[in-house]
Amino acid sequence: FPGVPSNPKLVPVLRSLIVVMNQNVTLSCCSASGSPPVRYTLFKHNQQVSSLNRSDSTPALFTLTISSASDVGPYKCKAEHNTSSDGKYSNSLNFTLIEPVSKPVLSSPTSYTVKGQNVTLSCFSENGSLPITYMFFKGKQSISPPKMMHEREAAVIFLFVNSSTDSGTYKCKANNSFPNSMKYSNSFNFTLAEERSHSQALIISLGLILLLLVIGFAVAIPFFIIPSYKASE
């Protein structure tokens, strides 16, 4: 029958099924064939959400707010004539609710090191849908392959400090499946203890020499004063 609507097609207007919490989305439902008027009904988990009548061939647009995980679907729509009890159902749609990553924090158990020491760097985003992929950099140069974390835990790398150039500057970045969600961390630099030890060692050495001189004078004074005193008698 030429007037019977065909199975409608249900699509997101923005062509993306990836959403964030409290995002408004619009679904379009339309039959490619069939004479109007047509009533379109949207269902979620087989429960009616809304119904719209169309007197022409334009699609029915349903606007939703994804406010919780239960709002992701599945959704279907039904097309039928107002005078008919039979209708045709569309494909099923489910949204993917994701959260963009927060700015990661780059840290280490210690900020001081010496040449020849192994150190660790950890990168962690507190918020964001899993999995989260981390990468580490020194300057603009990548120093590790991507590390995909499927649990809410930090990505860790191990470094060998062999020269002053290994002290930094380090950064990391984090991203997940949310579009354009890449975030960079704070900068982190290690302080090489050897770089500050030269002046400190000189000061300590001078202090020790001065202390030894003072002790030496204190010990020697009685040997000079007492004989002089006896001689004067």
pLDDT tens-digit profile of 132-141? 999 999 999 9
pLDDT for residue 49: 94
pLDDT digits (tens, 9 = 90+) for 42-95: 999 989 999 999 988 899 999 999 988 889 999 999 999 866 667 899 999 999
Average pLDDT for residues 26-35, to the nearest whole number?
90
Q: Which residues, 6 or more positions from 210, have their beta carbon under 8 angstroms from its beta carbon?
A: none
Between 26 and 221, the more confident residue is: 26
Equal CATH topology for 8-98 and 105-192: yes
How long, in residues, is the chain? 233
CA–CA distance, 182 with 165 (Å, rounded to integer): 27
Average pLDDT for residues 19-30, to the nearest whole number?
92
- The CATH class of the 8-98 domain is mainly beta
Q: What percent of the chain has pLDDT over 90?
A: 50
Kindly state which CATH superfamily the domain 105-192 is placed in.
Answer: Immunoglobulins (2.60.40.10)
Residue at 56: amino acid letter: D
Q: Domain segments of the chain: what residues?
A: 8-98, 105-192
pLDDT digits (tens, 9 = 90+) for 87-135: 899 999 999 888 889 999 999 998 888 888 899 999 999 998 899 999 9
pLDDT for residue 197: 46
pTM flag (> 0.85): no
